[in-house]
Structures are given as C-alpha cells and as structure tokens.
Amino acid sequence: MNKPSLAGNALETILRETFGIAQLREGQKEVIASILSAHDTLAVMPTGAGKSLCYQLPALYLEGTTIVVSPLISLMKDQADKLDNLGVAAAQMNSMLNRQDEVLTMKHIGESKREIVFTTPERLTDPGFINTVKKNIIDLFVIDEAHCISQWGHDFRPAFLSIADAVTELGNPPILALTATATDAVIDDIKKQLHRPDMSVIDAGVYRPNLHYRVIQVTNHDEKLETLLQLAKNNKGAGIIYTATVKAADEVYAALRENRFSVAIYHGHLTPHERKENQDSFMNGDSRIMVATNAFGMGIDKLDIRFIVHYQIPASIDAYYQESGRAGRDGKAAYCILLYDDKDKAIQHFFLARRYPAEDDIASVYAALQQSHADTASVSFTSIHNVATRVSATKQQIALKLLKDAEIVSQDRNHRYLLQKKDISRNDILSLAKEYKGKSEHNQEKLKRMIFYAQSGFCRWKVLLEYFEQKSDWHGCGICDNCLKPPARPLTSHRRRKSITHRKIQGIDSPHFRIGERVKVPKYGEGKVISSATNQVTISFPDSEVRTFLPSYVQSCT
C-alpha cells in the first residue's frame, strides 16, 4: 500500500487520539521514518526519550502484527498493561501466564486478533509458538533492550543468540532494535548477531542534563548501610536501590522495613506472584522505594523516580547508565548515587568468572551430546542439560552456540541438536574456548572502567560520555559531585595555607593533598595522589594499583 508521509493524517490521528501526544520528539521522527521505509534500524536513545512509541505508533499504522522481544517479564507486563489501557490489542507470552491464559492467548495470536505480541527470547525457540505466530502477517520485529543481544553488551543472554533464526522463520520482516546504550563494538556485534550488516543506526546520544551523578566512598558494611538509610531519608519521592546480589537486597529491604520506610523488593528468588505484587505496589505509589537486583527496571515507565542508589558497584558503565537512567524520566532533577566500597568489586569478579564456558565446560557439553546420540538421532536441550549437570544452563547454551557456529552440531526445525562431527580433538575444543576467553578479558576491562568512574575526580558526565564515545563541547556538567566540589588543583604554598584555613572555618578538618604529592597509607605503603576531594583521596601505588581512601587514612611524606 502507499503509506502517507510521517506527517500524514493517518499517523497524526493515531498519535493524537490513541497516545494523546501532539507531536513526536526529535529522534522518534527519524526512527519511525526509517521503519516505515522498511529499513532495518538500530535506535540508540537515552532512557526517557520515548523508545516504546517508536514501535507502537508504526505497529498501529501497519496492517499486520508486530512482534516485540522483551528481556524481562516486568518490562513486558508494564508495556502490555499500558497498551491495554489505551485500548490497543496486545498479547504477552511469558511464564507468568497460567495454562488457561496461555491457551487463550495462543488462540488470539493464531487468529490474528492481536496487533502487538510481546514475547521472551526463550519463547522464540518453541516451535509451537513460532508456528502460531506465522499465521499472522509480520510487519515488524522489535528487539527491546537490544544491547542484550550483543556478546559485548553488559547483559549478555544466550537465548538472544537464537533471535536471528526466529526472524528467518517468520519471513524476515524488518527489524527495529532499541537500546539506551551501545558502544561502537556493541553496535557492530548487534548487526553481526542479527545478520543485518546494513542496518541503519540512529543515535540520539546519552546525555541527560537533569541527572545529577554522585559517588559516596564507604569503607565498611556498617558505614554503607547507615549512609543508605540517610539517603533514603533525605531524598524525597520515589526511588530504586539496586544491589548486586539477592542476599544484599534482602538485607537492605529488612533494614529499611525496620526503620519504617515504605519499601518493596524485587529479585529472581521471589515467586512470579510476589514479583507482580511488588512491582504494582511501586508503580502505583503504594511503596515509595523499590529494593531490587538488576532483574527489575528495564523499560519500567515510571516517570517520577527521583533517586537511584547503587548499593554495590555494577559490572560495567553500560549497566550503570541503564539502571541509573531510570531516574528523572519526567525531565525534572533526579539523583544517581553510587555507594562505593572497594571490596565490592570482588562480587563482580566472581560473577564474571562464572559467565562464559571454559574448555572443560565445552568438552562436557560435547560429551553429553555424544552420549545422548547413542540413543536417538537428535537431542533436545533438556537431554543435554540433564547429562552435563556440572555445567550451568547458561554456559551450556553458549557452548552449544559455539559448537553450532563451528558446524560441529546443527539444529533441526524443532530446535533439536544433531551431531555433525562425532570426533573432535582437544585442540578443536580449546580453539572454541579462546573466543570467550577474549570476551571474559573484555568484561574485566569494562569492570576496570566502572571502578575508574567510581574513583575518578573528573566530571561524572564526561567520564560517561567518553565511555560511550560521545563528544561534548564543555569541560564539566556543573551538577555532579566532582563539578560541585572539584578535586583540589596544585596550589602554591601560600594559596594552599589559605585553602586549609578556609576549610577549618567551614568545619572541615580532613587533611588536604595536592595532585602529585607523595603520601603513604598503612598496609599499602607509599604512593602518589592522582585526585583529592573533601571526602576521598585517590592514590596510585608502585604496583600500578589505584586505590581510594578517606583522607584521615592518608599521611603526607613531606
């Protein structure tokens, strides 16, 4: 059919009457125009820029069905509920549906009664679901939070590796991939994983001037928890407190409850019913604070979140920006605070070490394939999983992808595995493992960049923008902690004495250190100051380690 221009009456009517919006924002216009021209498109847009409208508006304009792949059930539910309130026929397929609701939803999808179908990447490996979806004319295939599809992304998830196969089975409709963050490496990898090398990239940038970034250095568990309680008290409005572990989430939740804060909790160890109840409680304002692991928040459309605190350091700047960027979506000032204890980085090192399969893991999966093939021509993932029990399900999926890419195994239309090479050498397995050894090293480097952000005396926004390879024409944002209280500059002795006197008048009695000054710290020895602020001193030591201390721990060598 001949489609009207982006400013045409049909689109304007849908935008105004369905969504109650007078006009599109910059960035949205370009993305929607690309979609309506049937171009595969990757849109990099900051949180709060209206990414969901970029597929919802075309979905209602185009004649067929739009498939939306969402990484989290909470994200899917939030989007589907909002569309339902707008009178848009949307379906969601996930593990929270009971058997009766799942049968009814599949019936509606098979009868083409749903304009938008939300699904998880795992569901796309179900032949029954794919066959039902194929009864529709698929106009658009959307991947929300598309950084998850990249092996270089912060939230790598093996099921995303099968999305390209699902797109092929559904007739290769145009793809729209959406994310708030993507470095050049991630963009290239998304194109590679989707087999779309010519995908158009529309990058709206990541800078959001209403977000105030701050890092508070803490040195022990009690200090951190007390600081958190003070932040929860002093920061008004809705907030999210992120933890790296379920154990920490439970502990923080209990402490907030004990101090009579209005609080809910969200993590993967809760039942689906508990997660739904707690999410609803936070979204509708019954609970002011949500304590959560990174299982919560992706795509959550709550505009009035005034503060986000990270109780433990995330694994990368990508993850930190995604999670902190859920604050201030209404454009008003919001605060993004990281509580940094240098010991917390050990948690992320532990997670990264468990992320990718090593040589022995791949060998175990291959042996499981061989053993299962003795009884049948093709093998299900469940059969492999039950044999290779010492290897986690995530590592099994990655190992199978490596074996498939090397044409050692293949998959049939029912997603069962067939062994193509019955004997491979240890060297063959070693070469497969090397690919993910490089990715593991890359992730360790990303953690170092996150630690640098936490310890840096530079403008927080400048560090974020440089990480995402974006330029700015200013030296500082003027609103982060380092801009508001800049680290000390080298001073003459006269000016330095004046500065110290002024600090004593203000009631600040912590020592002052010059950048480049030689200092010593008990246990660590001598080092050189690389940044100094009122509440922290960052020191480079001869072993190339960079550590940050409270000023009271540091002694001058002069």
**CATH code of the domain in which 423 resides:** 1.10.10.10
Q: Lowest mean pLDDT of 31-45, 117-131, 443-457, 498-512, name the range.
A: 498-512
Closest CA to 256 of 268, 273, 239: 239
Q: Indicate the number of domains in the chain.
A: 4
> Do 124 and 132 meet the contact criterion of CB atoms below 8 Å apart?
no
Residue 333 resides in a domain: yes
CATH number at 24 reads 3.40.50.300
What pLDDT is stored for residue 210 in this prediction? 94
Q: How far is CA 200 from CA 29, 168, 175, in A?
A: 14, 19, 10
Per-residue model confidence as pLDDT tens digits over 101-123: 999 999 999 999 999 999 998 89
Do 113 and 38 fall within a single domain?
A: yes
Instruction: Say if residue 171 is in the same domain as residue 56.
Output: yes
Q: What is the dihedral of CA 434, 440, 444, 446, to 10 degrees?
A: 110
Least Cα distance to 362 among 378, 380, 384 occurs for 384
C-alpha span between 300 and 71 (Å, rounded): 12
What is the predicted pLDDT for the residue at 375? 62
Domain-located, residue 528: yes
Give Cα separations from 342 to 8, 154, 316, 538, 550 (angstroms).
Answer: 55, 21, 15, 12, 12
Q: Are 132 and 227 within one domain?
A: no
291 and 434 in one domain? no
Per-residue confidence (pLDDT) for residue 370, from 0 to 100: 82
Select from 185, 415, 435, 516 the least CA-distant residue to 318.
Answer: 185
pLDDT at 534: 55
Q: Which helix (H) or strand (E) holds 182?
A: none
What is the residue range of 497's domain? Answer: 487-556
Is 57 inside a domain boundary? yes
3-class SS at 32?
helix
Residues 173/137, Cβ–Cβ less than 8 Å: no
Joined together, the tokens standing for residue 357 give 């399969």
Whether residue 62 sits in one domain with residue 190: yes
Residue 507: give its domain's CATH number.
2.30.30
pLDDT value at position 311? 97
> Does 478 fall in a domain?
no
What average pLDDT does the segment 157-163 reach? Answer: 80
Q: How far apart are CA 247 and CA 313, in angstroms?
A: 15
DSSP string, 383-436: HHHHH-TTS-HHHHHHHHHHHHHTTSEEE-TT--EEES-S---HHHHHHHHHHH
Residue 139 in this model has a pLDDT that exceeds 80 = yes
Res 159 pLDDT > 90? no
pLDDT at 306 over 90: yes
**78 and 187 together in one domain:** yes
Residue type, 211: L
Based on the fold, state whether residues 243 and 122 are members of the same structural domain: no
**One domain for residues 186 and 259:** no
Other Cβ atoms less than 10 A from the Cβ of 491: the count is: 15
Selected residue with higher pLDDT from 492 and 157: 157
pLDDT at position 535, please? 57
Kindly state whether residues 113 and 51 are assigned to the same domain.
Answer: yes
Tell me, yes or no, whether 196 and 218 share the same domain. Answer: no
84 shares its domain with 114 = yes
User: Between 338 and 547, where is the model more confident?
Assistant: 338
Residue 508 lies in a domain: yes
Q: Per the domain annotation, does 419 fall within a domain?
A: yes
Per-residue model confidence (pLDDT) at position 7: 46
Place of tokens 């089975």: 169
- Count other C-beta atoms under 10 Å from residue 311's C-beta: 25
Q: What is the pLDDT of residues 214-267, one digit of tens each?
A: 999 999 999 999 999 999 999 999 999 999 999 999 999 999 999 999 999 999
Least confident piece of the model among 69-78, 360-369, 504-513: 504-513
Q: How far apart are CA 143 and CA 33, in angstroms?
A: 18
pTM above 0.75, yes or no: no
Q: Which two tokens stand for residue 88?
A: 């848009």
Residues of the chain with pLDDT > 70: what percent? 88
Average pLDDT, the chain: 84
In this structure, the answer to whether residues 362 and 287 fall within a common structural domain is no
Query: Considering the domain boundaries, does residue 75 fall inside one?
Result: yes
